[in-house]
Amino acid sequence: MDFELSPEQEQLRDNVARLMRERYGFEARKGYQASPRGWSEALWRDYADMGLLGAPFAEADGGFGGGPVETMIVMEQFGKALALEPYLQTVVLCGALLKHGAGEKHRAELIGAIAAGESRLSFAHAEKQSGFDLHDVGCSVVKDGGGGFVLNGEKTLVGQGDSADKLIVSARLAGARRDRHGIGLFLIDADAPGVTRRGYPTQDGQRAAEIAFADVRAAPHDVIGAPDGALPVIERAVDETVAALAAEAVGAMSEALTMTVEYLKTRKQFGVTIGSFQALQHRASDMIVALEQARSMMYLAAMMAGEDDAAERAKAMSAVKAQIGRSAKFIGQQAVQMHGGIAMTYEYKVGHLFKRLTMIDAAYGDADVHVRRLAERGSLFA
Amino acid sequence: MDLRLTEEELAFRAEVRAFVRDNLPASIREKTVAGRRLSKDDYVRWTRILAAKGWAAPHWPPAWGGTGWSPIELSIFLDETQRGNAPELVAFGVSMVGPVIYTFGSEKQKERFLPRIVDLRDWWCQGFSEPGAGSDLASLRTTARRDADGWVISGQKTWTTMAQYADWIFVLARTNPQAKKQEGISFFLVDMKTPGITVKPIQTIDGGHEVNEVFLDDVRVPADAIVGEENKGWDYAKFLLANERNGIARVGVSKARLDRVRELASIPVYGSGPKIEDPFFRAKLAEVEVELKALEVTQMRVISNRRTAGKPDPASSVLKIKGSEIQQATTELLMEVVGPYALPYREPDAMSNEPPVGPDWAGPLAPTYFNTRKVSIYGGSNEIQRSIIAKAILGL
């Protein structure tokens, strides 16, 4: 057992931390957020130059041979800075769909383009009725008789779906809407005929899109994996995304705590710094306890993201997501409370950390959803 | 970074697990599982089984009977013995005074006391807390004054766990009343048979007897009863309290208790069927398991941190707070399992011909819940731990 990072991993962490410090101050972030895409293209190129976009992919696929630990390192730093670029969508989520679902040729082509910063992908999966059930897919696909496919349906809440140039779309080739079997993944150009996108801002300063597909054609080579058996790939990619979100949340939580402690040491009321009040000291200590528990789950997630046993992996990720959600809510709310009025302003960073933490809890099932799943699955210590 | 146990660590875990399975007497295991009180003989018997194997003082230096295990191996040992329902080692000797003696004591003290701690020939108890000195331990008022032959100790200690079994007591006493309160305290080793010592039981809320008041009335001890230097006792006491980071979280104890929760919750108790079929109960159980899983990793992070190895680590306060909260949550779940039959009270050690009211196994559940409220109070209350975190980690 060993929690130490390798020298290369420490280097990666320091490099990303430096970039965020130099280029992702909270004022700079406001500028990126206000730009048309809602994030910085210049930084995306920097990420490519630094090797971040290819970090978690095998060298044979055009990546740099890293894995979940590298993703964890990058996402934690992004979490601290509240980075807006579509790393989670493109590199982590769509990257995992390609890694586990696509054939060799597809992987080489697409992963190489991702790593070079030339292509940004979003996963169009959730639908209005699906909630957090990954198998609930109503969007339909039929064979066109010539080896290709035709898609119809609507997808919702597609992360950074308005700025993506390619979409991976889940659609049902067979079975009823909530069957586990019959779901396929299709690579669709975001501007393909029949695709309509409506982009909008989200509470956490990012963007998402509602996307409709009307008789959208996919060529035979646009299928990722088996056209009717993609659910295990989707579940695996979402588990890896949950692990990455855990790291992003830990970064945001640690930043919220750092800012809170700094504030307690400088803000004066009644003639003393408010950090001298025991009620606030103990609350800050409880925040540390919550953060350390979350950090432990971030490590567990990085370890279990590579687990091949789907049931074991899902159980661990539910435990991770539940703990992250509980810690994120407590730390986010208390960071606002202990800052007082200033945290209620739009111009101050703590409120934005709180909002991102809130949305991370809600993504892919909040703490209650995952506790319920665990309750159905039996002991974590079996 | 690799969070899996190595091949060697896995083999070690299997060895400990098999040892506990094959060597823990069934009568002791049954009591621990059921939550019934262990006798002095039970503790002595298990400690000597471990001593024969060389495992009774695992964290000590090998020269004094330790094992030389790595921090992770020590943690695996604790986890496996706890989850295997073995009694915990009696901490007052092996975990508290023993390390103080081998770190600060004289050669004569080491040779005289350490071997007798390992196999529990000497049972120690802790003379720290006083009626007026709880969380504010340094305000203690027990005094030790010099006389021609040594020292004369007078005062009152309280919450002295298992003093009724003890052969020796380690005592903090004030040797310089003029000094600042932390600076005038010394650390003494006192034979419980010395004239002037009186032990009076304190009954705890569960009806049991594990703590005592210890009165010291002009107790005369020899000059060599003092450990280390005069007036340095507070340093030794802090060392003693801080050095117990391995095991403070009691992860194995909580795992064993959750095993018991699942076992008992599968038995139908009353009309509505087994408790485990209640989704709300299962959700509460899952919440505790999530926290415990995280704590298990947190503990490993603290233990394997090379930068703080061997030094007191304020992160152990995190382990104490979360570990005690989880222990309490597990006993609460355990009591809920039996529903209304938590109600009847039975004398903990009574021999009775009366049939139990409700399931036979229900008796100790509510007392265990009540008794376990102590874990967030002792060893530095959780509020004291929060103050330590605020000061040492957050710099407030």
Taking an 8 Å cut-off on Cβ atoms, the answer to whether A379 and B289 are in contact is yes
Looking at the partner chain, which of B5, B304, B383 has a beta carbon nearest the beta carbon of A3?
B304
Stretch 135-164 of chain B: residues touching chain A, C-beta under 8 Å: none
Q: Which residues of A touch B (CB under 8 A)?
A: 1-6, 9, 69, 261, 264-265, 275-276, 278, 280-282, 284-286, 288-289, 292-297, 299-300, 302-303, 319, 322-323, 326, 371-372, 374-376, 379-381
Q: For chains A and B, what is the number of CB pairs under 8 angstroms?
A: 140
Residue A54 lies in a domain: yes
Same domain, residue pair A136 and A261: no
**Chain B residue numbers touching A282 (CB-CB < 8 A):** 383, 386-387, 390
Q: Is the pLDDT of residue B355 over 70?
A: yes
Q: Which distant-in-sequence residues (6+ apart) come within 8 Å of A347 by Cβ?
A: none
Same domain, residue pair A177 and A163: yes
Same domain, residue pair A210 and A137: yes
Q: How confident is the model at residue B179 (pLDDT cuts 50, 70, 90)?
A: very high
pLDDT of residue B2: 86
| Tokens encoding B10 | 């896995």
Rounded CA separation A239/A245 (Å): 10
The answer to whether A98 and A110 are in contact (CB under 8 A) is yes
Taking an 8 Å cut-off on Cβ atoms, the answer to whether B286 and A282 are in contact is no
Same domain, residue pair A88 and A99: yes
Same domain, residue pair A131 and A42: no
**Chain A residue numbers touching B295 (CB-CB < 8 A):** 293, 296
pLDDT of residue B269: 74
Domain CATH number, residue A28: 1.10.540.10
Q: How confident is the model at residue A167 (pLDDT cuts 50, 70, 90)?
A: very high
The answer to whether A222 and A188 are in contact (CB under 8 A) is yes
Q: Looking at the complex, does the CB of residue B242 fall below 8 Å from at least one CB of chain A? A: no
Q: Looking at the complex, does the CB of residue B394 fall below 8 Å from at least one CB of chain A? A: yes
Q: What mean pLDDT value characterizes chain B?
A: 93
> What does the pLDDT average to over A335-357?
98
Rounded CA separation B94/A357 (Å): 45
Kindly report the nearest CA distance between residue B151 and chain A, in angstroms: 40
> What does the pLDDT average to over A200-214?
98
Taking an 8 Å cut-off on Cβ atoms, the answer to whether A323 and B282 are in contact is no
Same domain, residue pair A130 and A66: no
pLDDT of residue B310: 59
Domain boundary, last residue among A73, A102, A119: A119
Kindly report the nearest CA distance between residue B41 and chain A, in angstroms: 32
Residue A2 lies in a domain: no
pTM of the model: 0.95
Query: Which residue matches tokens 């079975």?
Result: A175
Taking an 8 Å cut-off on Cβ atoms, the answer to whether A381 and B293 are in contact is yes
Closest CA to A96 of A301, A219, A244, A247: A244
Q: Which residues of A94-129 are buried (b: 16+ CB within 10 A; e: fewer)?
A: bbbbbbbbbeeebbebbbbbbbebebbbbbbbbbee
Q: How confident is the model at residue B306 (pLDDT cuts 50, 70, 90)?
A: low
Q: Is the pLDDT of residue A144 over 70?
A: yes
Sign (positive or negative) of CA dihedral B170, B171, B176, B181: positive
Kindly report the nearest CA distance between residue B315 and chain A, in angstroms: 9
Same domain, residue pair A223 and A304: no
Which residues in chain B are classed under CATH 2.40.110.10?
124-231
Same domain, residue pair A254 and A373: yes
pLDDT in tens, B140-157: 999 999 999 999 999 999
The answer to whether A101 and A95 are in contact (CB under 8 A) is no
Range in A18-27, A104-113, B243-252 with the lowest mean pLDDT:
B243-252
Looking at this protein, which amino acid is placed at residue A296?
S
The one catalytic residue in B244, B289, B296, B325 is: B244
Q: Is the pLDDT of residue A238 over 90?
A: yes
Looking at the partner chain, which of A69, A264, A295 has a beta carbon nearest the beta carbon of B396?
A264
Q: Is the pLDDT of residue B270 over 70?
A: no
| Long-range own/partner contacts, residues A107-111 (CB < 8 A, 24 or more apart) | A107/A61, A107/A62, A108/A60, A108/A61, A108/A62, A110/A166, A110/A187, A111/A54, A111/A57, A111/A61, A111/A62, A111/A63
Rounded CA separation B297/A300 (Å): 8
Kindly report the nearest CA distance between residue A3 and chain B, in angstroms: 5
Rounded CA separation B293/B307 (Å): 24
pLDDT in tens, B50-63: 999 999 999 999 99
Quote the number of domains for chain A. Answer: 3
Q: Percent helix, strand and coil across chain A, each rounded to 5?
A: 55, 15, 30
Residue A126 lies in a domain: yes
Same domain, residue pair A24 and A150: no
Rounded CA separation B250/B9 (Å): 19
Same domain, residue pair A289 and A198: no
**Chain B residue numbers touching A292 (CB-CB < 8 A):** 298, 301, 315, 318
pLDDT of residue B170: 98
pLDDT of residue A280: 98
- Closest-approach residue (CA) in chain A for B285: A375
pLDDT of residue B264: 95
Based on the residue annotation, tell me whether B244 is a catalytic residue of this protein: yes
> What does the pLDDT average to over B223-238?
96
Taking an 8 Å cut-off on Cβ atoms, the answer to whether B294 and A293 are in contact is yes
Kindly report the nearest CA distance between residue A265 and chain B, in angstroms: 7
**DSSP per-residue letters across B253-295:** HHHHHHHHHHHHHTS--STT--GGG-HHHHHHHHHHHHHHHHH
**Chain B residue numbers touching A275 (CB-CB < 8 A):** 396
Half-sphere exposure of A370 (CA within 13 A, CB side): 26
Kindly report the nearest CA distance between residue B87 and chain A, in angstroms: 21
Kindly provide the residue ranges of all beta strands, DSSP E only, lying in chain A, ordered along the sequence.
121-124, 140-143, 149-159, 166-172, 183-189, 195-201, 207-218, 223-224, 268-269, 272-273
Residue A351 lies in a domain: yes
Q: What mean pLDDT value characterizes chain A?
A: 97
Three-class SS of residue A150?
strand
Q: How confident is the model at residue B351 (pLDDT cuts 50, 70, 90)?
A: low
- Closest-approach residue (CA) in chain A for B278: A375
Q: How confident is the model at residue A23 (pLDDT cuts 50, 70, 90)?
A: very high
Stretch 1-20 of chain B: residues touching chain A, C-beta under 8 Å: 1-6, 9
Residue A288 lies in a domain: yes
Domain B245-393 has CATH 3.20.20.70: no
Residue B231, CA distances (Å) to A353, B96, B187 in order: 50, 19, 8
The residues pairing with A216 across neighbouring beta strands, listed in sequence order, are A151
Closest CA to B38 of B210, B255, B247: B210
Residue A230, CA distances (Å) to A155, A184, A359, B278 in order: 17, 5, 27, 34
Domain boundary, last residue among A87, A119, A151: A119
Kindly report the nearest CA distance between residue A138 and chain B, in angstroms: 30
The answer to whether A38 and A84 are in contact (CB under 8 A) is yes
**Chain B residue numbers touching A2 (CB-CB < 8 A):** 1-3, 304
Residue A80 lies in a domain: yes
> What does the pLDDT average to over B341-366?
82
Kindly report the nearest CA distance between residue A288 and chain B, in angstroms: 8
**Chain A residue numbers touching B296 (CB-CB < 8 A):** 296
| Tokens encoding B294 | 């995280």
Taking an 8 Å cut-off on Cβ atoms, the answer to whether B304 and A1 are in contact is yes
A268 alpha carbon, distance to own chain's centre:
38
| Tokens encoding A18 | 């430096």
**DSSP per-residue letters across B168-216:** EEEEEEES-TTS-TTTTEEEEEEETTSTTEEEEEEE-TTS-EEEEEEEE
Taking an 8 Å cut-off on Cβ atoms, the answer to whether B282 and A375 are in contact is yes
CATH code of the domain made up of B124-231: 2.40.110.10
Angle, CA of A319, A325 and A331, to the nearest 5°? 130
Q: Is the pLDDT of residue B245 over 60?
A: no
**Chain B residue numbers touching A293 (CB-CB < 8 A):** 291, 294-295, 298, 322
Q: Which residues of A197-216 are buried (b: 16+ CB within 10 A; e: fewer)?
A: bebeeeebbbbbbbbbbeeb
> What does the pLDDT average to over A37-53?
97
Rounded CA separation A251/A295 (Å): 9
Q: Which domain holds residue A164?
A: 122-227
Rounded CA separation B261/A325 (Å): 25
Q: Looking at the complex, does the CB of residue B297 fall below 8 Å from at least one CB of chain A? A: yes
Same domain, residue pair A275 and A201: no
Which residues in chain B are classed under CATH 1.20.140.10?
245-393
Rounded CA separation B63/B57 (Å): 11
Domain boundary, last residue among A227, A257, A280: A227
Rounded CA separation B394/A57 (Å): 38
Taking an 8 Å cut-off on Cβ atoms, the answer to whether B293 and A297 are in contact is yes
Q: Is the pLDDT of residue B214 over 80?
A: yes
The answer to whether B86 and B47 are in contact (CB under 8 A) is no
Taking an 8 Å cut-off on Cβ atoms, the answer to whether A282 and B295 are in contact is no
pLDDT in tens, A294-343: 999 999 999 999 999 999 999 999 999 999 999 999 999 999 999 999 99
Stretch 62-81 of chain B: residues touching chain A, C-beta under 8 Å: 72
- Closest-approach residue (CA) in chain A for B296: A296
Same domain, residue pair A133 and A217: yes
Looking at the partner chain, which of A275, A285, A319 has a beta carbon nearest the beta carbon of B293?
A319
Q: How confident is the model at residue B268 (pLDDT cuts 50, 70, 90)?
A: confident
